[in-house]
Amino acid sequence: MTTTTEPMAERAFGSKYKADDYAQYYANKHETSLMRRASNSLERRMVRKSLLRIQRRQTFHSALDCPSGTGRFLPVLAGFGVSVIAMDTSAQMLREGVRHHGAFSERPVASAGSAFELPLVDDAVDVVLCSRLVHHIPEREDRVRILRELVRVAKVGVVVTFFDSGSIRAWRRDRKAQHKGRVSGRHSMSRAAFLEEAIEAGLRPIGMNALLRFHTEVTAAAFLT
């Protein structure tokens, strides 16, 4: 019997993202309609604003994008002129992300790795972007474990996106899940609860930016380490 040392939360979350057909689908899904293109543009702008919060306090020259997925936020990082490590557990996702590498003067390094245990030395990069991950992680101890890894490898700051429970979208999704008698696969939490976990992990909050506050749940939090 083959055994694995992957955390249970990672195994449960990561399976479908490692399939070739899903990586290709995910790479194109944000361009399939006008609404999705607009949402993608707004989310990139939100992440950029959070990175600017860090840059106003201290300049940075290198970044880790984990999980990088199909490189959705690589164009944002390219705009800061930084060297980038694009990291994901899925080689298929990273291959799809190569389409964005041309935006860099120094092409990103694609590397396999998990946010639960980053294969990098302490202070390996200036900043870390961790987008679209923690809302998949239901257990508090798993989220804190990830945040501590981000603190370990980031010399300057970290941007993490999470799902804000104080939004209409989160309320509707949770209500729908309750009506169907099942637990939602996306876990939203209050801003105060998320900040509590981040501070426990060693992060120093400097501000938040929402996609559409009180309507859409996606929120980016900026921290110094």
Q: Which amino acid is at 101?
A: H
Is the pLDDT score of 159 beyond 50? yes
pLDDT at 1: 36
Helix (H, G, I), strand (E, B) or coil at 86: strand
- In this structure, the number of other CB atoms found within 10 A of the CB of residue 33 comes to 10
Buried b (16+ CB within 10 A) or exposed e, 84-115: bbbbbbbebbbbbbeebbeebeeebebbebbb
pLDDT tens-digit readout, 6-61: 554 454 455 555 556 788 787 777 777 888 888 889 999 999 999 999 999 999 99
pLDDT tens-digit readout, 203-225: 999 999 998 777 778 999 999 99
Superfamily of domain 8-224: Vaccinia Virus protein VP39 (3.40.50.150)
Residue from 43, 110, 97 nearest 70 by CA: 97
pLDDT at 72: 94
- The pair of structure tokens assigned to 140 is 């508090």
Any idea where the domains of the chain sit in the sequence?
8-224
Q: Work out the average pLDDT over 83-111.
A: 95
What global pTM score does this model have? 0.86
Element (H, E) at 50: helix 34-57
Residue 119 and residue 113 in contact, taking contact as beta carbons nearer than 8 Å? yes
